[in-house]
Structure 1
Amino acid sequence: MENINAVTFGFMSQKNEWATDSARESLRLMKENTNASHVILAIVVEQDTPQSTTIHWESDQVLSDSEIIMMAQYARDLGLKVILKPIVNVADGTWRAHINFFDHDVPCEPKWSDWFACYTAFISHYAEIAELINADLFVIGCELVNSDRREAEWRQVIQDVRKKFQGKITYNADKYQENHVKWWDAVDVISSSGYYPIDSWETELDRIEAVVDAYQKPFFFCEVGCPSREGSQWLPNDWGLQGPVSQEAQANWYQAMFDACKKRKWLDGYGLWDWKAKLYSEIDAGSNDDYALYGKLASKKVSDFFR
């Protein structure tokens, strides 16, 4: 697999937000400021609660197919390769990893079978979009930790996706879960979210390397990043961590991550988190404590490494 130097674009965007000059300018600035070779287009849909079996992927608030297709074409015009990544979120704020149901069906209770039926309709639709735009990679799921154990259902999802999309597919496992997924043989690329503490990269990469060796598949971090706030370098997966803004903490984390990862010949790239479709002004970067890269010290680290 070719190396992936990607940045995730447009997470949480809603309908019509990509059909704007400002969104296209944001993508252009992403390419210019990071030297990315790929963009990961993130399409977010929601279900109401962790125990809902209906995914509202046809909601009027979801990015339209036409604007996804147009943004993918614009990315190509900029010289970027395109990874399509549909993501299920929970509307009540619960993290998607906690979507869960009884292992055995119980009358009058929500069921895995109902959820996977809806998930298959959702992901198959975007597989068709991925085929239409000739996506370089399609992400069939993201951090759905409690569903990872449902091996038979995921294998069926993969079979259905392959009927719609002829290219390479991956599943984005969550951090620390790489060695718990038992169906990596069914995808083309292993990927995960690399939100690891600044001082534990070597240990975690050793663990992931054993998975890569066992399955003999390409691997990349489909998500990897750190907020620009003090303390986040030790717990980069904590979105709500309190602390003062610190571009240095974010930049130091990126340097440590790149230094550790570049020594691993089996690691085929990164999907950095993240870049906003609605971009804040560069002058406001100094007060932004989010994962965003624009205008921050970490952006220079990324640009130099990707170059």
Structure 2
Amino acid sequence: MRNICLLWLVLLQISCSSQFVGKINGISFVASRDRATEAHIAPVKNIHAGHAAVMPFGFIREVNSPDIIFDTDRQWYGETRMGAKQYIELLHRNGIRVMVKPQIWIWRGVFTGELQMDSEENWKQLEKSYEDFILTYASLAEETGAEIFCIGTELERFVDQRPAFWTGLIRKIRERYKGKLTYAANWDEYGRTPFWASLDYIGIDAYFPLSESKTPTVEELKEGWRPWKDKIAALSEQLDRPVLFTEFGYRSMDYTAKKPWLMDRDEGPVNLEGQVNAKKAIFESFWDEKWFAGGFVWKWFINHDRSGGPQDNRFTPQNKPAQEVISTFFKLYR
């Protein structure tokens, strides 16, 4: 009888812990001027991150320019194909899985969702340029065995106005890359993205407005999440696809959850507590849901010792109390 009781206790412990297993606990590994080293990976492992997004970049001069400039010797090392490959291989050697997430930067930081051409000729040129860009990195993802590939980030007008192009592009990516696919839709875009059924994850950059408080509490933020969460869960059920937060994060500043998408150079007061509460609320709201795959913290710089800190009001949680929150939840849900 005693042995039966012991066996039952062991099975109960396994059952209770298994609900937390298998989440994608990722960080957005920011491209640097330099090669990555083991010293750069150690802090990632210390917070129990099991995934990292590697982000090579392409550049566009104007919001209506059809030409994407990428993989040139004028870019930072980590933004190029060579640099992305080196990052991926190093992360893999350290047991960290990778999402390859090629991104576009429009000069002066114009929002990529506004990318729009003024003629059919320019649309076709943009499609050709984007296809070259994205297939270059789909091939790299296959070559390096990256586990996830993101086909685009926050390109709402491009997606909305050229749906046939995206359908064909996904087919071409599938021919080159055999892993899982997603797209990083902006928080107010994902409900209109037409091709989720062709991908493996519903990808969302989760900068949802949650609270207008200067320092919102965890409970206030969880209440703010409730209507958004219901809509996300309904879409996941409708399409039979898990949801992946391709980016999630909050600045360590006042009113962090009012407009979480703001990436300007505002040097307002530092508010570490607000960032901590927002991180706790998103983990407590989503990470134990079966339909939720996990997410990637925005953002993590490779030079950890020189990043973030208690006087920094930017997105990175590095060397701030929010880093410990992430570490705790990543360890619990790995």
* Mapping for residues 36-75 of structure 1, pairs under 5 Å: 36-62=49-75, 63-75=79-91
Query: CA-to-partner distance for each residue in 1:201-247, whole Å, 9 max, x for gaps?
Result: 11111111121112111211010000111111222111125520111
- Contact kept, 8 Å, 1:171 with 1:190, in 2: the verdict is yes
- Contact kept, 8 Å, 1:18 with 1:277, in 2: the verdict is no
- Contact kept, 8 Å, 1:197 with 1:233, in 2: the verdict is yes
* Mapping for residues 1-307 of structure 1, pairs under 5 Å: 2-11=22-31, 13=32, 17-21=33-37, 24-32=38-46, 34-62=47-75, 63-102=79-118, 105=120, 111-149=122-160, 150-198=162-210, 199=221, 200-240=224-264, 241=266, 243-279=268-304, 281=306, 285-307=309-331
Give the Cα separation in 2 of the matches to 1:164 and 1:59: 23
Give the Cα separation in 2 of the matches to 1:306 and 1:20: 23
Give the Cα separation in 1 of the matches to 2:189 and 2:150: 16
Give the Cα separation in 2 of the matches to 1:262 and 1:66: 34
Residue 293 of structure 1 deviates from its aligned partner by 1.4
Q: Which amino acid aligns with 1:127?
A: A
Give the Cα separation in 2 of the matches to 1:139 and 1:2: 20
Identify if the C-alpha distance between structure 1 residues 20 and 30 changes in structure 2 by more than 3 Å, giving closer, same or farther: closer
Identify if the C-alpha distance between structure 1 residues 96 and 278 changes in structure 2 by more than 3 Å, giving closer, same or farther: farther
Q: Which amino acid aligns with 2:328?
A: D
Give the Cα separation in 2 of the matches to 1:76 and 1:211: 32
Give the Cα separation in 2 of the matches to 1:246 and 1:235: 15
Residue 93 of structure 1 deviates from its aligned partner by 2.1
- Contact kept, 8 Å, 1:225 with 1:254, in 2: the verdict is yes
Range moving further from structure 2, 272-281 or 199-208: 272-281
Query: CA-to-partner distance for each residue in 1:249-290, whole Å, 9 max, x for gaps?
Result: 1011101111111353211101110101244536x6011111
Give the Cα separation in 2 of the matches to 1:39 and 1:230: 28
Query: CA-to-partner distance for each residue in 1:116-138, whole Å, 9 max, x for gaps?
Result: 11100110000110001100000
Identify if the C-alpha distance between structure 1 residues 194 and 138 changes in structure 2 by more than 3 Å, giving closer, same or farther: same
Give the Cα separation in 2 of the matches to 1:253 and 1:209: 20
**1:286 match: secondary structure:** coil
Give the Cα separation in 2 of the matches to 1:263 and 1:278: 31
Identify if the C-alpha distance between structure 1 residues 152 and 203 changes in structure 2 by more than 3 Å, giving closer, same or farther: same
**1:101 match: secondary structure:** coil
**Which portions of structure 1, spanning 4 or more consecutive aligned residues, are displaced by more than 6 angstroms?**
none
Identify if the C-alpha distance between structure 1 residues 207 and 49 changes in structure 2 by more than 3 Å, giving closer, same or farther: same
Q: Which amino acid aligns with 1:124?
A: L
* Number of positions where the alignment pairs a residue of Structure 1 with one of Structure 2: 294
> What is the Cα-based RMSD across aligned positions, in Å?
1.9
Query: Structure 2 stretches of 5 or more lacking a match?
Result: 1-20, 211-220
**1:232 match: secondary structure:** coil
Give the Cα separation in 2 of the matches to 1:288 and 1:280: 13
Residue 301 of structure 1 deviates from its aligned partner by 0.6
Residue 72 of structure 1 deviates from its aligned partner by 1.1
Query: Structure 1 stretches of 5 or more lacking a match?
Result: none
TM, length-normalised to structure 2:
0.83
**1:8 match: secondary structure:** strand
Identity %: 24
Give the Cα separation in 1 of the matches to 2:243 and 2:315: 23
Give the Cα separation in 2 of the matches to 1:20 and 1:173: 28
